[in-house]
Chains A and B, each alone.
Chain A
Amino acid sequence: MEIAFAPYYTINGSVLLDHDIQSNTLPDKSVKLNVVLDIPKERAASLTATLGSLENAYIVSLPAAIFSDETVLQEYLPVLYILASFDAFSFAGEIVIPVLCAQTSEQQAVNTEEIKKYFLGQGVKIVYMPLFNQHEMRLQQVGSFTYYVQDDNSSRPKTAGFTIITPVLPGMNLSTFNNHISRAQTTIATTASFHENYIERIIFDEEIKNWEKRSLLYRDFLALSKSVQEKEYYEVLNWYHKEYEALPLWYKRFGHIIKVMMGKRSFKSLFTNKFKKPTR
């Protein structure tokens, strides 16, 4: 069955930073963004602040031309991890980091395994990294991800999963980006619900898994609390035996006489074995 595409509109990080996007400069909070990480490390702080406060859901793409440099990649890995951890990113439902290449020969240049290994080190088991040729005009399908250069006359691609659309306009600024989106939105408006359904399903499945994990966790807590409290109980008991029970009998008996003298127990109680629960 063909399902309508799920668009993430591509915009360069540098274009986002050159505008104050917090003042409603993007057309619609429902527009999802594919932000190309084309910025120097010095601008990472600004991009982090911008994406951290962005209300639009987004994913981040890596330009192969920049990230094929191993030194740049190593510098950017922590930055990339944090950008992929923001709540707006999470509305993608899964971690997808497309790699955009200027030509096919670049596709092997980015060390995607190194990136996946880094994310795994942070506890993220699955990172999808589809590689696309940024300037290829035909529709590109990698797994369940599609890359698609939108022009106004093109027919809509129909595919399951993510679609990363790019206006790919040289020298693109925010107003051309916004114009592009408003034109593109009219062509996809009737099919937007398919996309929402796809993301909602991912999120719904994830929620069910999380509740299942949480119920197992609480069960583990019950078992764990039993062993921990048992350990604490024996620690107290051992302390008692070591510090009190090991004392000579005459010493302990003398202690009881002192208790009587201090009014902590009755004289009569010295001659009975019945235990009287202390009252408060």
Chain B
Amino acid sequence: MIKNPLIAILYHIFYEDSYDLACRELQPLLIYQPVILFNICVDTPGKREMANYLKQAFPTCLIIFTSNRGKDIGAKLALFQLLLQLEIVPNYILLLHDKKSLQALKSATWKNDLLKIITPGAIESSLQSFQQDKSCGLIATKEYIIQEPFEHSAFTGMNGVLLTGLLQSYNINPVSYAFVAGTMFWARAAPLLLFFKQFNPLEVRKHLENDNVIDNFAGTVTHSWERLLSWIITSEKLYIKGI
């Protein structure tokens, strides 16, 4: 049992009005004294003012600015590099971003649903789940734990071809093809840190697409990595718990 687990929060900001949102969302987590790393997109208007405000609200946080490569996935990869570079070894990692998905019909409820994982009750129960069940690797909102379609030994979804190639290249062998859509989840840190020590996150990031790509019409490397971030963990025989 870990008495005071170290939590690292990797939070990506893309929208210019996300400061209040980030502050509000992170409040329940502050009692755990987490390491907070922000990435703000370089294209975000008013980014320097936002960085100043964030520094005031979270004095120990570190902030980087990176280009809009790979959307929130690329940003989180840059934050993984920062985490590794700082040689911080957290027990658990919380991935968050200011998701809006304005193009989607259900965008209004999407983010709220995903944020169930950081309500005070959910934080406590998530940490307990990790501590009590060693095979629990990921915790996310259950409605967003999606099964990637796989029939007759092949992926049948839009990202299928890319996924097959990436799983081979990075030697990832998940026990199931369930993943967390939206990439906001609690994760046991060890598998992710181990993986990114082997495969530099910025090397991965350079293969992602620029700007706001979507996978509604064709597969993308970015959306494939959305799945792989879950599968890096589940390939270690760990499962995803829904809350």
Contact = CB atoms under 8 A, between A and B. Distances in A.
Main secondary structure of the interface of A (DSSP, over half): helix
A217 interface: yes
A78 B80 CA distance: 11
B33 to A, nearest CB: 16
Contacts of A44: 85
A35 to B, nearest CB: 15
B181 to A, nearest CB: 15
B120 interface: no
A228 B206 contact: no
Given A86-B62, A87-B65, A90-B65, A78 B102 contact: no
Nearest to A206: B42
B63 interface: yes
B1 to A, nearest CB: 28
A122 B210 CA distance: 9
Interface string B98-139: 000011110000000000000000000000000000000000
A123 B45 contact: no
A218 to B, nearest CB: 8
Contact of B63 (A86, A214, A232): A86
Interface residues of B, number: 39
Most A CB within 10 A of own CB, among B16, B102, B217: B102
A227 B218 CA distance: 14
A27 to B, nearest CB: 21
Nearest to B69: A123
A49 B44 CA distance: 24
Interface in B191-220: 200, 202, 205-206, 210, 212, 214, 216-217
A207 interface: yes
A45 B81 CA distance: 11
Nearest to B54: A87
B237 interface: no
Nearest to B68: A123
Most A CB within 10 A of own CB, among B16, B85, B205, B212: B85
B63 A123 contact: no
A52 interface: yes
B45 A214 contact: yes
A87 B53 CA distance: 12
Nearest to A53: B62
B44 A210 contact: yes
Contact of B45 (A48, A211, A221): A211
Interface residues of A, number: 37
Contacts of B64: 82, 85-87
Interface in A39-76: 44-45, 48-49, 52-53
B86 interface: yes
A182 interface: no
A126 to B, nearest CB: 11
A23 B82 CA distance: 23
A262 B82 CA distance: 61
Contacts of A224: 103, 214
A154 interface: no
A156 interface: no
B78 interface: yes
A180 B216 CA distance: 59
B66 interface: yes
Nearest to A211: B45
Contacts of A87: 40, 48, 51, 55, 63-65
A121 interface: yes
Interface of B: 16, 40, 43-48, 51, 55, 60, 62-69, 74, 78, 81-82, 85-87, 102-105, 200, 202, 205-206, 210, 212, 214, 216-217
Given A207-B46, A231-B217, 16 more contacts: A44-B85, A53-B62, A78-B200, A86-B62, A87-B48, A87-B55, A90-B48, A122-B202, A122-B206, A207-B45, A214-B43, A214-B44, A217-B212, A225-B102, A225-B103, A225-B104
Query: Can you list the 8 inter-chain pairs with the closest CB atoms, starting with the nearest?
Result: A123-B67, A121-B206, A85-B64, A123-B69, A52-B62, A45-B87, A87-B51, A225-B103
6 contacts: A48-B86, A52-B86, A78-B81, A82-B64, A85-B66, A220-B212
